[in-house]
Each structure stands twice: as structure tokens, then as C-alpha cells.
Structure 1
Amino acid sequence: MNTKDLAYFDRLIKLKNFSQVAAEFGVTQPTITTAIKRLETEFATKLFLRDRVHHDLTVTASGQQLAVHAAAILADLDLAHQEIAHLTQQRTVLGLPPIIENHYFPRVAAHLQERGMLENIETVEGGSIQLRNALRAGQIDLALLGSTEPLTYKTLIAEEFDRQPFNIFVSAAHPLAVRKRIYFSELRRERFVLFNNSFITNAAFNQLARRNHFRPEVVFRARDTHIIMNLVAENVGVTYLPGLVDQHRDDVVRLDLLDDEQPEFISSIAYRASHVLTPTQEQVLAVLRGTLA
């Protein structure tokens, strides 16, 4: 079977137009038609029904079933291309969420530099949800991920190395700054400054909000810890972050939460189960384990 035929088929499923698929791949329309006929011969079934009068294209039940497998095959093929390409390189692409990057990576970087390995590290920053998807898609080699539950994906190997509670951070000028502890329910009338939805802290925050039966007023979302803390310092809103956030400032106060069964911020080293690590990546993984575990 020609994998290019599956690629044509996959796009035709989405676009429902032979001409558009042909234009996208830079081939003639008969090329797409012939590819679909080869697949129909291969599987001894009709994949599409064409209404030439009304220019409609309907996907048959067989076509819908093949579409599921075609998407998986093409994704695996793309992953194989990326992994094999990475095997020929000396670099390691490392995913780092901002909270983990700020708190843990300086120690890791120092050990990598001691071994002359830091210059071969390429970091990709983003939320843990975004980086987890990038890791599974083969766009990064290793990642330090945050989660509220242990990572149990079949396609990933995750090695937990730390757990931290979440805290509330308020401006030193906020009335709550005189408190040391607080129940989440006491925040129902507060304005919040939070990460955007690609960050795992939102899952924990939403869990507590649902449990306390109120919809928080979120006035701003950001991708950077320092921006969030600066906005909190200016009393734009309060925030909810893991306790490991590097504070060291007099204009922001951290409050412990008194709620029972609170979510925890779990930090893990993660990599794909299918990925054959290069010797360089094995060394990076050993440094991560030696520094963080």
C-alpha cells in the first residue's frame, strides 16, 4: 500500500473536494482519483459516494472506518520521521513549563554545564498540557511536566520527582495579606489572575471552584509567572499557584489553603515509550534523574 494514497485519502475526508486536495499536494485531480480507486480495490469496498449533479461527496461507513486508521498510521509515520531525524543529531529538545523552569531548571543547567552538555540543549517553553501533547507528537524529546494526577499514558514514561501544595498569592496591600491561611470558599468575590488554559494549574483551580460552587471572576490570563505575580503585586487580582513559585518579594503574600483533599502539583520527568534515546539524550536523562530524583 502506498502511504501517499492514505495521505490523499485523509485530506479528502477533511476537504470533501478532489480539486482542493490535488491543489494542496501539487498534483492533478486524476492522481487523487486513482489513489482512491487503489484504496477501494485494496479494501474491496466503496469509500466515497459521488453525486456529480450536485457536486456532493459522501463518505461511506467503510470510508469513515478507514479514516480512523489512516489518521493513526499517518501520525505514527510522522512520529517515526521525527524520531529518526533526531537520532542523527546531538541536540536534545527539552520541554519546560515556566514554573518548573524557574524552580528546577537552574540546578539542572548547572550540572549540564559541568559536563559540557548545556549548549546542546534546546528548550521549548509552554504549559504542561501543551508540552505533553508536543512530547507525544514527537516534537520534543524529554519534558519536565506538571500534573495534578500521576501521568499514566501508555505512550509516555513518567518518573515523578516532587509534589507541592498549591497556595493563594495576594498583594501585600490586599486585606487578606494579614492572614496566613484561608479557605478557598472565602475567595468567591475576588478577582483572579491566572495562567491560560494550556497550564495544568487551571485544572486544579477549576476543581476547587467547582467543589465550592462558584464561578470565579478571571480578569486576566497570562503565560508567564512573573507577569502574573507583578499583576498580583499591583492588586489587579489574586492568583492560585504551586507553592514552589519563587517569591522573594515584599509586595506579594502567600497564603496556605485550609481545604481538605486539595490538589497537588506533581512534577515528573517524561519521555515517549517508543523513543530510542540517543547516547546524548540518555546522558541528559541521567542528569535530570541525578539532579531532581
Structure 2
Amino acid sequence: MNLQDLKYFHELVNQKSYTKTADSFGVTQPTITAAIKRLETEFGTTFFIRDQSHKSVNVTNIGMQFDEHVKKILKEIEVAQTEINQHLSEDILFGLPPIIGDEYFPKIAGKLLKANILKHLNVQEHGSHELKQMLLDGQINIALLGTMQVANNPDLKLTVLKKFPMEIIVNKNHPLAKKKGVFFKDLENENFIDLTNDFIHSAALRQLKEANQINIKTIYNSPDVTIVKSLIEQGLGISLLTSLSIENNPNLVALPLLDENQPEFILVAAARKNYLFKTQEQKLWDILEKS
């Protein structure tokens, strides 16, 4: 068995055509046929059945099952190649969500500078959901992520650093600003300004809506937390954000939610479980764990 045969196999599962598969690799159709024959002989089974009447290919059940394993193998090879290409670089491919980058990262930047790590950081700034996928794909190797729960992940190593409450953020002159806390169900008539789906805040908002069985009016979605806070400062609406995001902002007020089982913003350091840190990356990870 060779890697190229597996690539041919996976593409044939997707295309269900020997001709289209051959064209996508720039090879002849007999090349694809021979590769599939080698795999079927090696495993002693049939992965594909030709439908001569429709000139198409049907994938057997065992063929579909085998493809689940092939996809994982090809992904691991892709990530391994990316890691090999990165190995000689001193850069640390580091993921940082905007809120964490603005409000939390500056608190540890001094330690990173002292450890001679700061200059090696190649920062990729995206929402936590996208950064998690970038970790799995090998595009970054370490990240700070926000999550609502830390479940056992077979592919990622997660270390909890801090926990912050999710709170209702309002303008300091908003009628709600004088309250000590609010129940989410009492906000049904408010105008909400939400972050986009790449942020866990949006998932937390959906969770609260479902738990309280109410509809809310979202007047704007933004991928930029700075814009969200600016619109709240102008009195255009309210939002659900972590308390971390509005520290040292005198124009905004954070109201605790009084609901039971309310979501929280959990800050974690994340890396692939099977990734071996370079020296500088290990120093970074140690600082993150102790911060």
C-alpha cells in the first residue's frame, strides 16, 4: 500500500467516476483502476462496484468505512508535512482571538519579552472556532482559545487558564445600568448587538435563548468586538460579552446574569496532543500554564 493509492481511493469515493478521478490527478484511467485493484487485493474486499448501465461507480459499505480511515491518514500526513516545513523556523505559530488579544495577552506580554519569546510569535488573529480548526490542520501550533466547556478532546491538549462570567453589557446611561443583575428572560424586548458565529459569545447567546424559550431582536452582527462595544457606547443596543472584554471602559456597564446554569467564558491554552514542542514553544507553554 502506498500513499498515492490512498489519495486515488479517496478522490474516487468523492467523484464516483474513474475518468474524473484520473483527470483530477492528470493520470490515465488504468492508473486509477490499478491502484484500486491493489488496495482491494491487499485488504481482501471490494470497495467499488461499477454500474455499467449508468457508467458510474457505487461505493460499497466497507468502502465508505475504509474512507473514514483514509481521510484521517491523509489529514495526518498533511499536518505532518506542514510541521516538517515549519521545523527549521524559529517562529511560533500562535493563535489569538481578538478579545483575548486586546484584554488578556498584554498582561503576560512582559513575561514573554523577558523570556525572549515575544519576538518569535507569528500571531494569527481569528475567532476561537476558526483557530481551533487551524490547530487541527497544523496551520498554528499553540493558541489561546475561549470556550464554554472543556470536554476531553482526543486531538487537542487543553489547559484552563482563567474563567470569566458572561454578562450583559449596556451603555452607562441605559435604564438597565442601575440594576445589580438581570434575568435573561427580561431582555426579550431589547436590541442585541452580537458577535458573529466564529465567537463563542454567539453560541452562548443561542444557549440562553433556548434555555429561556424566548426570541430576541438582533439588530447587528459583527466579527469585531471593538465595533460591538462602540455601538453599545452609542446606546444602539446591548450585548452578551465576557467581562474580560470591557475592562477599563468607563462608558460600559457589565450586568451579571441571575439565571441558573449560565454560560461562562473559559480561557484555555491549546495545542495538538501529538505535537512535540520546539524549545521556544515549550517555554511559551510553560509561561501560559503559570499565568
Contact 2:103–2:244, Cα closer than 8 Å, also in 1: yes
Contact 1:87–1:277, Cα closer than 8 Å, also in 2: no
Partner of 2:2: 2
Write the distance in 2 (CA, Å) between the matches of 1:262 and 1:97.
Answer: 22
Kindly indicate whether residue 53 of structure 2 is the aligned counterpart of residue 37 of structure 1. Answer: no
Contact 2:103–2:247, Cα closer than 8 Å, also in 1: no
Deviation at 1:8, TM superposition (A): 1.1
Contact 1:172–1:253, Cα closer than 8 Å, also in 2: yes
Write the distance in 1 (CA, Å) between the matches of 2:26 and 2:241.
Answer: 49
String of CA shifts for 1:187-237, please: whole Å, max 9, x gaps.
111221111112112222222111111122222222221011112222332
Contact 2:104–2:244, Cα closer than 8 Å, also in 1: no
Partner of 2:115: 115
Contact 1:95–1:126, Cα closer than 8 Å, also in 2: yes
Partner of 2:212: 212
Q: Map 1:90-239; keep pairs closer than 5 Å.
A: 90-239=90-239
SS at match of 2:246: coil
Kindly indicate whether residue 286 of structure 2 is the aligned counterpart of residue 265 of structure 1. Answer: no
User: In the alignment, residue 261 of structure 2 is paired with which amino acid?
Assistant: E
User: In the alignment, residue 264 of structure 2 is paired with which amino acid?
Assistant: E
Deviation at 1:254, TM superposition (A): 2.1
Structure 2 alignment gaps of length 5 or more: none
Contact 1:126–1:223, Cα closer than 8 Å, also in 2: no
Indicate the larger mover: 44-53 or 6-15: 44-53
Write the distance in 1 (CA, Å) between the matches of 2:42 and 2:207.
Answer: 49
Partner of 2:85: 85
String of CA shifts for 1:144-200, please: whole Å, max 9, x gaps.
111111242122221111111111112344332333321111111122111111211
User: In the alignment, residue 197 of structure 2 is paired with which amino acid?
Assistant: N
Q: Which runs of 4+ in 1 moved over 6 A?
A: none
Indicate the larger mover: 72-81 or 22-31: 22-31
Write the distance in 2 (CA, Å) between the matches of 1:26 and 1:5.
Answer: 14
Q: Quickly say closer, same or farther: Cα 1:27–1:9, change in 2 above 3 A.
A: same
Contact 1:159–1:270, Cα closer than 8 Å, also in 2: yes
Structure 1 alignment gaps of length 5 or more: none
SS at match of 1:236: coil
Partner of 1:275: 275
User: In the alignment, residue 30 of structure 1 is paired with which amino acid?
Assistant: P
Contact 2:146–2:267, Cα closer than 8 Å, also in 1: yes
SS at match of 1:181: coil
User: In the alignment, residue 274 of structure 1 is paired with which amino acid?
Assistant: N
C-alpha RMSD of the superposition: 1.8
Partner of 1:57: 57
Deviation at 1:143, TM superposition (A): 0.9
Q: Structure 2 length as normaliser, TM-score? A: 0.93
Partner of 1:288: 288
Indicate the larger mover: 11-20 or 242-251: 242-251
User: In the alignment, residue 270 of structure 2 is paired with which amino acid?
Assistant: A
SS at match of 1:232: helix
SS at match of 2:240: strand
Q: Structure 1 length as normaliser, TM-score? A: 0.92
Contact 1:180–1:254, Cα closer than 8 Å, also in 2: no
Write the distance in 2 (CA, Å) between the matches of 1:129 and 1:114.
Answer: 30
Contact 2:96–2:126, Cα closer than 8 Å, also in 1: yes
Contact 2:156–2:272, Cα closer than 8 Å, also in 1: yes
Contact 1:170–1:253, Cα closer than 8 Å, also in 2: yes
- Percent identical: 36
Q: Quickly say closer, same or farther: Cα 1:36–1:278, change in 2 above 3 A.
A: same
Partner of 2:23: 23
Write the distance in 2 (CA, Å) between the matches of 1:27 and 1:173.
Answer: 69
Deviation at 1:38, TM superposition (A): 1.3
SS at match of 1:182: coil
Write the distance in 2 (CA, Å) between the matches of 1:255 and 1:94.
Answer: 32
Deviation at 1:250, TM superposition (A): 4.2
Partner of 1:71: 71
Contact 2:161–2:288, Cα closer than 8 Å, also in 1: no
